[in-house]
A and B are shown apart, each in its own frame.
Chain A
Amino acid sequence: MNVHVTPEPNMYRYDEFDRNFVDARVAQFRDQVARRLDGTITEDEFKPMRLMNGLYHQLHAYMLRVAVPYGTMSSRQLNVLADIADKYDRGYGHWTTRQNIQYNWIKLEETADILDRLASVEMHAIQTSGNCIRNTTTDAYAGAAADELADPRPVCELIRQWSSLHPEFSYLPRKFKIAVTGSPNDRAAVRVHDIGLRMHLNEKGERGWEVLVGGGQGRTPMVAVTVRDWLAEADLLPYLTAVMRVYNLIGRRDNKYKARIKILVHEMGAEAFSAAVEKEFAEAPKETIEVDARELARITSYFAPPAWESLAAFVPEIEEKKLADRGFRQWLAANTAAHKVPGYTIVNASFKPTGGIPGDATSGQMRAVAKLADEYSFGEVRVTHAQNLTMPHVRTKDLIEVWDKLKELGLAEANIGLIGDIISCPGLDYCALATARSIPVAQEISTRFADIKKQHDVGPLKLNISGCINACGHHHVGHIGILGVDKKGKEFYQITLGGSSAENASIGKILGPGFGADDIAGAVETVVDTYLAVREQGEEFLHTYRRLGAAPFKEALYAGN
């Protein structure tokens, strides 16, 4: 019998301080729950405490949002997430658009036990809610992508350590989200975050960061503006501190809908905002928070590449299989990505089965992916912001085996980046804020486009659905976006076109009057058919829309009305 030894993945590590702190926080929350249950504190008093520990109350029950730091986790951690789903929830969890996991059916009295279990594998739910700096997100392919300049995760970890319970930034005007990319091809949506960081290299090969501020979605979607083209890495934390300080001091607190930093940047103007940040940056003492090269080197060492083998990039049996098997060819084209090391490939497990619930994962699927990661990807797994899982380091020669195993698990739908890979918030089926359901719309659309060949013929197309204006389903940046609203007690759906969260980010524009629940999937089909009719050779949906505008789509949808 073979004994599989799971190598410890290359990722963050808690030191003694982190461990003690998280343990203390669990004990503190256990006491807070006890006091809530014995009536010492009211729900109004308890609510901010539970939110600081990621515990919401949603439509049906308590919901716990667990942070997956920049989407990176080990197979060991994924197994614990599966155990939690079984023991404390109803056997499943939901990958979120910020690379976290949510559990929908949590009991208050059991929450501290869950947090204890998470702490045992260096995880927690701190700052997954509330007006603080949330879990930093990044490229799910970080440390593996062929097109990245360098692994952005050491900087993500630096930001995580800096922002965790930062005393000055724990009571911001509103929540605050930071995204980081180390690749020019933005898979982290940095332009629609409060702060986006893009890595650049100068002529000496030194790393620096472009700082973008004021992006976001929600009810007032905006694309971030660049306030610094180049920031030396050593200045990163002092500069972020300056941005946060300007926001914290003059960001609005009188109206929660105008309290995000994007509103401040918009109202001040990018130039004035940038000047305020530069002034703060120039005047504030930096010695205590500038990035010490030794400290960054220490953190970077945690993310040292795994023990890659020296392998041939060209694997004849893979090429033969590609020619012989269309299903494998489609899967390879859509669900894998180029790795920076020859002989390795990035593999995505699609959690978007035809007619399924986008992003829902059963405990069995979690354990199975953890096992696959152990066998084929150095025990590493990533959560993507498109609600899938990634195994970043799979040997190319193992791809047929991995494909076969993913097929058995129902995780090999060859639809990553295609219309079947729908991003969807939980919507009114779970969320207390939602005004319409999202999931049934996603299910119907994915069923209509069940033919994978058609999906591949349509080509890259991001379809995102939100069940309310808060836009957790990222509808503003979907090439096709759908927003569910309540219209006199009935669900109604608006279509937006032309959004993008990539390096060429844009906010989608409303196409016209909305559609009822029975008609929205058909309307999307009409939009796609119109694109197929008017596109030029090899032209992707977004490019066709940008070339022609909304006119042909409006004509197709509304001309008869």
Chain B
Amino acid sequence: MNDVTEDCSEYVVTANEVLSGDTVFRTPDEKWVRGIDDAAVLKCEDTGFVALGEAQKDEHANIVMGAYLVEVSRESGAVRPVHIRERIRALGPTVRADLAQVAQGFSTSEVVDQ
């Protein structure tokens, strides 16, 4: 992951897998995973758009749909979306602990706390 030395936001590329509909994130080695912790963190919007352009090739290949950039921040070392909508989308419903992204070891409270 990049160091944050410049004064610009960080982003990850997200999309939904066509087959399952699940929320997925783009990794540094250009794969898609369900856990945001494994996402490639892209420093500044320009870098993000370059990565997004690459990711969109997978839309044409019917692997994912609706790829876009999500602004993230670091919280206790973890990468988390800045906006609550994207936090819930990344981590699961806040009202069903059993359905949260427990596979990644996230707790539902992490979704709520901003």
A60 contacts which chain B residues (CB < 8 A)? 21-23, 89, 92-93
Chain A residues with CB under 8 Å of B93's CB are 60, 429-430, 439
Q: Is the CB of A36 within 8 A of B89?
A: no
B50 at the interface (CB under 8 A from A): no
Asked if A36 and B18 sit within 8 Å, CB to CB, the answer is yes
Residues of chain B lying within 8 A (CB to CB) of residue A439: 93, 95
How far is the CB of A273 from the nearest CB of chain B, in Å?
39
Quick one: which of B22, B59, B95 contacts A61, CB cutoff 8 A? Answer: B22
The answer to whether A107 has its CB under 8 Å from any CB of chain B is yes
The chain B residue with its CB closest to the CB of A56 is B21
Q: Which residue of A lies closest to B91 (CB)?
A: A60
**Chain A CB within 10 Å, residue with most, of B89, B92, B99:** B99
* In the complex, A464 has a CB within 8 A of chain B: no
A443: Cβ under 8 A from any B Cβ? yes
Q: Which residue of A37, A61, A108, A428 contacts B84 across the interface (Cβ within 8 Å)?
A: A428
User: Contact string, A213-240, partner B, CB cutoff 8 A, digits 1/0?
Assistant: 0000000000000000000000000000
Cross-chain contact of A429 among B23, B82, B95 (Cβ < 8 A): B95
Interface string of A26-57 (1 = CB under 8 A from B): 00000000001111000100000000000001
Is A428's CB under 8 angstroms from B61's CB?
A: no
Say yes or no: A428-B88 contact (C-beta < 8 A), given A60-B22, A437-B94, A489-B82: yes
Complex interface residues of chain A between 432 and 455 (CB less than 8 A to chain B): 434-435, 437, 439-440, 443
Interface size class of A (residues with CB under 8 A): 20 to 34
Given A428-B84, A429-B93: A37 and B19 interface contact (C-beta under 8 Å) = yes
In the complex where A36-B62, A43-B66 touch, is A107 in contact with B21 (Cβ < 8 A)? yes
| A529 interfacial contact with B, CB 8 Å | no
Chain B residues, Cβ within 8 Å of A434? 85
Q: Which of A62, A435, A440 contacts B95 (CB 8 A)?
A: A440
Give chain B's interface residue range (CB within 8 Å of chain A). Answer: 20 to 34
A407, CB-defined interface residue at 8 Å:
no
Is B83 in the interface zone, CB < 8 Å from A? yes
Q: Which of B59, B65, B88, B95 has the most A CB atoms < 10 Å from its CB?
A: B95
Query: Which residue on A lies nearest to B92, using beta carbons?
Result: A60
**CB distance A429 to B20 under 8 Å?**
no
Q: Do A57 and B16 contact each other (CB < 8 Å), given the known contacts A428-B85, A429-B95?
A: yes
Q: Does A246 contact B (CB under 8 A)?
A: no
Closest chain B residue to A47, Cβ basis: B65
- Does residue A491 face the partner (Cβ distance < 8 Å to B)? yes
Q: Which residue of A lies closest to B112 (CB)?
A: A440
Assess whether B9 is interfacial by the CB under 8 Å rule: no
B88 and A59 form a contact (CB under 8 A):
yes
A37 to B21, CA, bound (A): 12
Q: In whole angstroms, what is the CA distance A302 to B62 when docked? A: 46
How far does the Cβ of B63 sit from chain A's closest Cβ, in whole Å?
Answer: 10
Residues of A within 8 A of B84 (CB): 428, 489-491
Scan residues 40-90 of chain B and give those whose CB is less than 8 A from a CB of chain A. 59, 61-62, 65-66, 82-85, 88-89
Binary contact readout A83-98 vs B (1 if CB under 8 angstroms, 0 otherwise): 0000000100000000
Q: Taking A39-B62, A43-B66, A429-B88 as contacts, is the C-beta distance between A108 and B18 under 8 angstroms? A: yes
List which A396-439 residues lie within 8 A (CB) of chain B. 428-430, 434-435, 437, 439
Report if A372 contacts B (CB, 8 A): no
Interface residue A267 (Cβ < 8 Å from any Cβ of B): no
With A428-B88, A437-B94, A440-B94 known as contacts, the answer to whether A90 contacts B19 (CB < 8 A) is no
- Is A109 on the interface with B (CB-CB < 8 A)? yes
Interface membership of B114, Cβ < 8 A: yes
- Say whether A357 faces chain B, with CB atoms less than 8 Å apart: yes
Please measure, in the bound complex, the distance between the C-alpha atom of A106 and the C-alpha atom of B89, giving whole angstroms.
Answer: 16
With A37-B62, A43-B65, A429-B94 given, is the CB distance from A57 to B21 under 8 Å?
A: yes
The verdict on A489 contacting B21 (CB below 8 Å), with A60-B89, A439-B95 known, is no
- Shortest C-beta distance, A417 to chain B (Å), equals 24
Whole-angstrom distance between the Cβ of A429 and the nearest chain B Cβ? 4
Say yes or no: A490 contacts B94, CB within 8 Å.
Answer: no
Q: Shortest CB–CB separation between residue A51 and chain B, in angstroms?
A: 14
Residue of A with least CB distance to B94: A429
Q: Which residue of A lies closest to B85 (CB)?
A: A428
Q: Which residue of B lies closest to A357 (CB)?
A: B95
A-B contact pairs, 8 of them (CB 8 A): A38-B62, A39-B61, A43-B18, A61-B22, A62-B21, A105-B99, A106-B21, A108-B20
Tell me the B residues contacting A by CB distance below 8 Å. 16, 18-23, 59, 61-62, 65-66, 82-85, 88-89, 92-96, 99, 114
A-B pairs with lowest CB-CB distance, top 6: A62-B21, A429-B93, A61-B21, A43-B65, A439-B95, A39-B62
Extra A-B contacts (20), CB below 8 Å, given A108-B20, A357-B95: A36-B18, A37-B19, A43-B59, A57-B65, A59-B23, A60-B22, A60-B23, A60-B93, A61-B20, A62-B21, A107-B19, A107-B21, A357-B96, A429-B95, A429-B96, A430-B93, A437-B94, A439-B95, A440-B94, A489-B114
- A contact set with B: CB distance below 8 Å: 36-39, 43, 57, 59-62, 90, 105-109, 357, 428-430, 434-435, 437, 439-440, 443, 486, 489-491
